[in-house]
Structure 1
Amino acid sequence: MGYRVAVVGATGNVGREMMTILEELNFPVDEIHAIASRKSKGVEVSFGDRTLKCQDLEQFDFSTVDVVLMSAGGTVSKEWSEKIGKAGPIVIDNSSVFRMDKDVPLIVPEVNPDAVKDIRKNIVANPNCSTAQLVVALKPLHDAAKIKRVVVSTYQSVSGAGKEGMDELWNQTKAIYGLGDAKPKKFPKQIAFNVIPFIGAFNEDGYTDEEAKMWNEVHKMMDPEIKLTVTCVRVPVFVGHSEAVTVEFDRPISVDEARAILREAPGVLVVDKHEHDGYITPVDAAGEHAVYVSRIRKDHTVENGLSFWVVSDNLRKGAALNAVQIAQLLDETGTLKSSSGFRSITV
């Protein structure tokens, strides 16, 4: 027997990807419901070879499902996630609302699966898209040689800002070629043929909340002693976040040792050769499940330093894939109970 599943925000980029990945990973689904706002009621979405019509969030009875994948934005999550959790199902929330809540586990299954044992509000939080791929690469290295400090510069695709972000890049590109109106609407500056060193909102210290999310989430999931500084940059790429990462360890670690550790790490694929096909770009990673690590090399400016390049599909490992993997983890640990009362094992 499988589970009764609801996807909230089913018409968005991540919601549609959740539906796709549930089917791709053969998650045991008995019933599935596509949920959206009232204005999207009746809109059709795909689940495998089936077509589902979206149901109204405000009218849906969440006591009839076992697990809810929530990807409708922070405002909706703040209003609905706790109410849904109290109705019975476990909510896997993709927004930032509950990530730092001490009563809500923040989970990347390859990094801190044991956190699933401490669910108090029937809510599990999905991390920020840039954090998810970063910790998948950092955790196996931290286990081998304790990390002291990390410096990260992100190159984040427009899909991280939703469909509106993707539309803006597409429309601005067409407008510039056609001498049309390229005035920014979603982003603070032109994104086509440009990069924007700003994502989110400014904090008092000059960092953005997107940057703060990354170090707060790394501290919660991995180790609060790791020093981390981040610069988040939006780039004119449709799908796939990239990160230039420099790490300082408490002991020497060679390039070959790091490469060997990462090759054995869950969720990581190492593509690292000194040739043109020896590294991964966002185009290569789009549609894939892995976190790719390339260009591993010594950082000669510190005693025990390495630099490397990390790329992943932000709609997948950065959001939808990680959420479904959390659902698999809940299933495999017996935390999630199916409607029949029997646990279904995911292979």
Structure 2
Amino acid sequence: MTESNRELVILGVGSAPFDALLEILEERNTVTPAQLKLVVGDEVEADPQVFANRSIAVTPLDEFTFSADQVLLLLSGGDTASAAVTKAEEAGAWVVDAAGISRGDDSVALIHPLLNAAALQTVERRVVAVPGAGAAMIAEALYPLKSQLKSVDVVLNQPVSALGKASVDAAAAQTARLFNGQEPEADEVTGQRLAFNHLSSAEALLESGHSVSELALVLELRRLLGESIAFDATINTASVFHGQLANLSAQLENPVELSKVRGLLTNGARLEMRERPSAQDAVGSENTLVGRLRSGLLGPAWVNFCAASDNLRKDVAINCVQIVHLLLKTH
């Protein structure tokens, strides 16, 4: 089967990263319009989508037939995604889960294209997962220090788009109402106001006080960086549409001069040093911005710094496209 005969099937039309993904696919010529297929749940109605100046039809899942020469990319979860995975696996297709439906399944390899793409050669199943946007960014930022990390405390400030397209629309509507002197309705997903607010948690808390997303972030970081590293994580939601920023407090195995840490971060893949990174600066960039590097006050082996990135374009769309490219080209 030649690469030109391979197809990319996307489930997740209208999801938060969908538009960015189509832009990257077109910019990098990863697939042609003829190679792109779009599917939706049987109960969903979706208009044709434009890709590379061509109209791409959207097909209900129950009318779509998978084959072994395809890669299925999941951008949205739920029962439809689970059904699509079953059909794709039965047909021998590859599945790339960017929706988190395989989280906790050890038979599904977690692949970050910059950090462990070689693992695609030895996976148990033809189903792989892409780390969440927060984990992808933080793992990149910490990777140059991986061999020296003992523990890391993460505070991730995620944007509204991390909650999904519905929350982006809700935040926009709330902003418009506030500017017009009207009281906005609470977001249905979080039960709170998203516009001009900063949420300590966007979801219900477990008995431990953590959220499911925080524990998932810890799990993914340990899978990417090593089970011996201790992690704790806090995820709050900032009142911005796109762009994420994490404050990282890392305890190293031994004290290291700050100049050496700076050198390691400066040479890290897809890392760009800035004096004061911001989420706004990161939007549109294909790099993770790192900065505010300083010695921690908890002890001589602690270092603090922050990382910022474009959560949709860079940490979902580009990572997905890189993995899809590898699968279409060599698998």
Q: What does residue range 233-244 of structure 1 map to in structure 2 within 5 Å?
A: 233-244=236-247
Query: Does 1:73 find its partner at 2:77?
Result: yes
Q: CA deviation at 1:55?
A: 1.6
Contact 1:77 / 1:93 at 8 angstroms: preserved in 2?
Answer: no
Distance 1:64 1:120 in 2: 16
Q: Amino acid of the residue matched to residue 150 of structure 1?
A: V
Instruction: Identify if the C-alpha distance between structure 1 residues 240 and 220 changes in structure 2 by more than 3 Å, giving closer, same or farther.
Output: same
Contact 1:63 / 1:87 at 8 angstroms: preserved in 2?
Answer: yes
Query: Does 1:261 find its partner at 2:264?
Result: yes
Contact 2:61 / 2:84 at 8 angstroms: preserved in 1?
Answer: no
Distance 1:331 1:31 in 2: 11
Instruction: Identify if the C-alpha distance between structure 1 residues 330 and 257 changes in structure 2 by more than 3 Å, giving closer, same or farther.
Output: farther
Q: Amino acid of the residue matched to residue 108 of structure 2?
A: V
Distance 1:106 1:240 in 2: 23
Contact 2:113 / 2:319 at 8 angstroms: preserved in 1?
Answer: yes
Contact 1:99 / 1:106 at 8 angstroms: preserved in 2?
Answer: no
Instruction: Identify if the C-alpha distance between structure 1 residues 157 and 99 changes in structure 2 by more than 3 Å, giving closer, same or farther.
Output: same
Query: Does 1:209 find its partner at 2:212?
Result: yes
Q: What does residue range 155-304 of structure 1 map to in structure 2 within 5 Å?
A: 155-186=157-188, 187-272=190-275, 279-304=276-301
Q: CA deviation at 1:323?
A: 1.2
Which contiguous aligned blocks of 4+ residues in structure 1 show a shift greater than 3 angstroms? 38-42, 329-332
Q: Amino acid of the residue matched to residue 201 of structure 1?
A: A
Q: CA deviation at 1:252?
A: 2.2
Distance 2:96 2:247 in 1: 29
Q: Equivalent residue of 1:234, what SS?
A: strand
Instruction: Identify if the C-alpha distance between structure 1 residues 300 and 204 changes in structure 2 by more than 3 Å, giving closer, same or farther.
Output: same
Distance 1:248 1:155 in 2: 21
Distance 2:240 2:319 in 1: 21
Q: What does residue range 121-140 of structure 1 map to in structure 2 within 5 Å?
A: 121-140=125-144
Ranges in structure 2 where 5+ consecutive residues have no aligned partner: none
Q: Equivalent residue of 1:233, what SS?
A: strand
Instruction: Quote the residue 2:35 is aligned against.
Output: 31
Distance 2:60 2:21 in 1: 18
Q: CA deviation at 1:13?
A: 2.2
Distance 1:198 1:191 in 2: 11
Deviations 1:271-327 (A, max 9, x none): 23xxxxxx2222221122211112111112222111111111111233222111222
Q: What does residue range 29-68 of structure 1 map to in structure 2 within 5 Å?
A: 29=32, 31-38=35-42, 40-63=44-67, 65-68=69-72
Q: Equivalent residue of 1:288, what SS?
A: coil
Larger displacement relative to structure 2 (110-119 or 215-224): 110-119
Distance 1:11 1:238 in 2: 16
Instruction: Quote the residue 1:339 is aligned against.
Output: none
Distance 1:201 1:107 in 2: 28
Instruction: Identify if the C-alpha distance between structure 1 residues 210 and 61 changes in structure 2 by more than 3 Å, giving closer, same or farther.
Output: same
1:92 to 89, 92, 96: 96
Instruction: Quote the residue 1:5 is aligned against.
Output: 8
TM-score calculated relative to the size of structure 1: 0.88
Contact 1:6 / 1:69 at 8 angstroms: preserved in 2?
Answer: yes
Q: CA deviation at 1:28?
A: 4.5
Distance 2:136 2:42 in 1: 31
Q: Amino acid of the residue matched to residue 4 of structure 1?
A: E
Instruction: Quote the residue 1:150 is aligned against.
Output: 152
Contact 1:70 / 1:92 at 8 angstroms: preserved in 2?
Answer: yes
Instruction: Quote the residue 1:320 is aligned against.
Output: 317
Distance 2:114 2:259 in 1: 22
Q: Amino acid of the residue matched to residue 167 of structure 1?
A: D
Q: Equivalent residue of 1:5, what SS?
A: strand
Superposed CA RMSD: 1.9
TM-score calculated relative to the size of structure 2: 0.92
Q: What does residue range 325-336 of structure 1 map to in structure 2 within 5 Å?
A: 325-331=322-328, 334=330, 336=331
Q: CA deviation at 1:128?
A: 1.6
Distance 1:219 1:75 in 2: 28
Q: Equivalent residue of 1:300, what SS?
A: coil
Identity of aligned residues (%): 26
Q: CA deviation at 1:331?
A: 4.8
Ranges in structure 1 where 5+ consecutive residues have no aligned partner: 273-278, 337-347
